[in-house]
Amino acid sequence: MASTEPLLTDLKDGVLTLSNNDAPINRMSLEYMDELEVAVNDATNDPTVRAIVITAEGTDNFSVGMDLKQLRTKGDSRGGFEAVLDQRLRVLAAIENMSKPSIATLFGYCLGGGLELPLACHFRLAAAEEAKIGLPELDLGSVPAWGGTARLARCVGRDHALDMILRAKKISGPDALTRGLVQEVHPLADLKDAAHTLAQELASMPPRAVAGVLSCVVGAGSVPLEEALAAERQAVRDCSGTKDQLEGMMAFLEKRRPVFTGE
């Protein structure tokens, strides 16, 4: 019998997969966001988790975004729209600021929150065919509400962000690659495997150094250059003399692949 849980989780070889279980449209329900918040917080504190893949069940759609009907019927019991929005912003910020790399798969409809969640991830991989990616909130008389305006502008630049948001565009995977919205494009049939291959590659890297890079790069856009350079220097100090650093140096000298343990 298929699971009815809103979020499916699987941890294998250091890669945690978090999958929205509302196929075929994979709405981001209140229950999904509750479980996603718990899973992200748990992963942050779990040393066995080295990388995260955020995906959805099936191959039809990553997500059509927030379940608007549910918001109308159950939103008040959650403190109203502002409280619901606060939680979603909190979850996305937690993903963006994690010390572990996150990868999102974009396929089918990736609209509204279905794009804003991937924008908080460190890597985005899109399907080469049939993806429809966008922030169409203006068609609903509204504005992207989960940080989409800021994150999209930082990701693709002001001009592309305005073109997509003000025209409520739904772009393809190849177009998203051209605009710099995603790092890779793969055939839909291979997309999830490609995400897991990338996650395994990242999971094999030294965790302390990965955390340092994520902290420096994610935070670099909001601080003066001098502060960013100081943060980088501190990250170098944090790695200095660790077992992973010594392993990396020895592996280089011995012409072999390093095996990093997080120590």
> Are 168 and 138 a contacting pair, CB within 8 Å?
yes
Q: Parallel, antiparallel, or unpaired for β 109-111 and 132-134?
A: parallel
> Are 199 and 124 a contacting pair, CB within 8 Å?
no
3-class secondary structure per residue, 129-145:
CCCEEECCHHHHCCCCC
Distances (CA, A) of 29 to 3, 63, 142: 16, 10, 19
CA dist., res. 52 & res. 46, Å (int):
12
What pLDDT score was predicted for residue 104?
98
Can you give the pTM of this predicted structure? 0.92
Token pair for 201: 């590659």
> Are 22 and 54 a contacting pair, CB within 8 Å?
no
Residue 126 three-state SS: strand
What pLDDT score was predicted for residue 81?
83
- The pLDDT > 70 percentage for the chain reads 99
Average pLDDT over residues 89-93: 96
Residue reference for tokens 């940080």: 147
User: Which positions are catalytic?
Assistant: 116, 137
CA dist., res. 87 & res. 42, Å (int):
16
Within a 10 A sphere around the Cβ of 35, how many other Cβ atoms?
Answer: 19
CA dist., res. 105 & res. 200, Å (int):
15
Check whether 3 has a pLDDT greater than 80: no
* Ranges 55-64, 79-88, 146-155: which has the least confidence: 79-88
CATH number of 7-203, picked from 3.90.226.10, 3.40.1180.10, 1.20.120.1630, 3.90.550.10: 3.90.226.10
Distances (CA, A) of 173 to 124, 156, 166, 183: 10, 14, 20, 10
CA 64 to chain centre: 16
Check whether 76 has a pLDDT greater than 70: yes
Average pLDDT over residues 139-148: 92
What pLDDT score was predicted for residue 71?
77
Q: Mean pLDDT in the chain?
A: 93
Residue reference for tokens 């699987």: 10
What pLDDT score was predicted for residue 2?
64
Token pair for 238: 């944090």
